[in-house]
């Protein structure tokens, strides 16, 4: 495992620091969506050593999460068989489990080589973070309205199927634009358009890929899960505020709440944080 970790961390391609060539058999081109499980255990806690990232700076004080005097160790009875917490963790391939009640930790367990000090890839939780930051930008006045047209902030999308789509529709994934989010299909839009590593250094793949997509429904009428749209929201947010997503997150949430450590946010090949994933 240690050797695999060392190989992974050393595997950055010289021609583009945003890409990685994993040390295990991969599809061509290699994509993190197709990482085998043993590589995820290492890669998900070493993102800043694999991809380019921006730091999310912590503040001066830390919000305390004390350990409760009485810890819990729940068991579940399923089909007449009693399962422990550890059995649940193993059966569901969980690397970390944390239970908090009334501001105190009741249970904290880790597996698969993970420790309390490790960062861990939070994947699409970033979508909720990016959406929350849009609320902050509305309050600040950097964005006037959720009914603003996307093309006002992203003029590169003028003339595409995104013409006439509002920020509200982008946030709710009701743009009506065609998109396939199938993670197991190497030919899906999410695999071809967004999955790291990007195809070309210096190019924002969310914009370049999205502007070529067709319309399949009137805007505002149909929900379709689309990670690219939250990436577009992130680009829009950065332009509206004049700040990087990581800096804005630090100022509005990370530092004021009292996070214990700096976070990191992975960037695409243009150096823009991916609003839909990878904090």
For 198-215, the pLDDT digits (tens) are 455 666 889 999 999 999
Q: Shortest CA distance to 172 belongs to which of 204, 198, 146?
A: 146
Using alpha carbons, list the distances in angstroms from residue 170 to 203, 220, 224: 21, 9, 10
191 pLDDT tier (thresholds 50, 70, 90): confident
Q: How far apart are the first and last CA of the chain?
A: 24
Nearest to 257 by CA among 57, 47, 53: 57
Looking only at the bridges linking them, the beta strands covering 53-56 and 263-266 are antiparallel
Q: Encode pLDDT of 25-51 as tens digits.
A: 443 335 677 788 888 888 899 888 888
Helix spans in 123-191 (H): 125-140, 150-153, 167-171, 189
φ, ψ at 237 (rounded to 5°) = -65, -45
Region 59-81 average pLDDT: 93
DSSP 8-state class, residue 214: P
Counting residues of the chain whose pLDDT is more than 90, the rounded percentage is: 67
Q: What does R_g of the chain's alpha carbons equal in angstroms? A: 20
Query: Considering Cα of 264, then 270, then 274, then 278, what sign does the dihedral take?
Result: negative
- Among candidates 247, 225, 236, 235, which has minimal Cα distance to 272? 235
> What is the crossing angle of helices 227-241 and 125-140, to 10°?
30
Dihedral Cα 38, 12, 242, 148, nearest 10 deg: -60
Helix (H, G, I), strand (E, B) or coil at 265: strand
pLDDT for res 49: 85
CB 276 within 8 A of CB 126: yes
Mean predicted lDDT score pLDDT of the chain: 87
Burial 18-53 (b: 16+ CB within 10 A, else e): bbbebbeebeeebbbbbbeeebebbbbbbbbbbbbb
Residue 10: pLDDT band (50, 70, 90) is: very low
Instruction: Please enumerate in sequence order all residues whose Cβ is within 8 A of that of 11, keeping only pairs 6 or more positions apart, or say none.
Output: 20, 21, 22, 23, 50
- Higher pLDDT among residues 245 and 36, named by residue: 245
- Supply the pTM of this predicted model: 0.86
């Amino acid at each position: 495992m240690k050797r695999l970790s060392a190989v992974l961390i050393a595997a950055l391609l010289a021609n583009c620091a945003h890409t990685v060539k994993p040390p295990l058999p991969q599809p061509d081109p290699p994509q993190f969506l197709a990482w085998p499980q043993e590589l995820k255990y290492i890669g998900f806690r070493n993102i800043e050593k694999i991809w380019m990232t921006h730091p999310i700076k912590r503040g001066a004080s830390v919000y305390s999460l004390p350990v409760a005097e009485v810890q819990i160790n729940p068991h579940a009875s399923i089909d007449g068989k009693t399962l422990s917490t550890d059995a649940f963790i193993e059966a569901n391939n969980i690397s970390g489990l944390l239970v908090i009640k009334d501001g105190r930790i009741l249970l904290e367990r880790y597996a698969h080589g993970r420790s309390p000090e490790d960062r861990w890839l939070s994947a699409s939780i970033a979508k909720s973070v990016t959406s929350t930051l849009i609320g902050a930008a509305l309050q600040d006045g950097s964005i006037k309205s959720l009914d603003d047209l996307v093309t006002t902030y992203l003029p590169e999308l003028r003339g595409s199927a995104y013409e006439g789509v509002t920020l509200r529709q982008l946030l709710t994934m009701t743009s009506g634009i065609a998109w396939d989010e199938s993670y197991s299909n190497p030919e899906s839009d999410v695999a071809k358009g967004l999955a790291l590593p990007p195809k070309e250094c210096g190019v924002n793949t969310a914009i370049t890929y999205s502007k070529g997509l067709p319309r399949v429904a009137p805007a505002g009428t149909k929900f379709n899960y689309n990670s690219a749209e939250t990436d577009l929201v992130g680009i829009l947010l950065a332009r509206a505020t004049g700040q990087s997503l990581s800096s804005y997150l630090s100022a509005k949430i990370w530092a004021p709440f009292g996070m214990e450590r700096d976070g990191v946010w992975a960037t695409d090949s243009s150096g823009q944080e991916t609003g839909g994933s990878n904090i």
